[in-house]
Amino acid sequence: MPNKPAILAEGLQKHYGKTRALAGLDLFAEEGTVLGLLGPNGAGKTTAVRILTTLLRPDAGRAEVAGLDVVKHADTLRSRIGLA
């Protein structure tokens, strides 16, 4: 049986004006795994991490970290990951 997800993202999108930073990111990482984000400059790695750590709100899609929605439970999540 697979572990529950530590990180779950479905269809994350983020735009800065007319510039598309993320175009539908899907991501799943089980608890106890190590995850690396690789890609060229401008691929959206930093934007994705900022959304997953509640520093940015996605324009579309949804994400959970440690079972907490990054938009609905941002304050609780910040406390859990050490940003509060």
Sequence ranges of the domains in the chain: 5-81
**Whole-number pLDDT of residue 65:** 97
Q: Three-state SS for 82?
A: coil
pLDDT of residue 84: 76
Is pTM beyond 0.95 here?
no
Question: What percent of the chain is predicted at pLDDT more than 70?
Answer: 98
5-81 sits in which CATH class? Answer: alpha beta
> Are 3 and 28 in contact, with CB atoms under 8 Å apart?
no
Q: pLDDT digit string (tens) for 28-50?
A: 999 999 999 999 999 999 999 99
Question: What mean pLDDT value characterizes the chain?
Answer: 95
User: Cα 45 to chain center, whole Å?
Assistant: 10
Q: What is the pLDDT of residue 3?
A: 77
Is the CB of residue 61 less than 8 Å from the CB of residue 11? yes
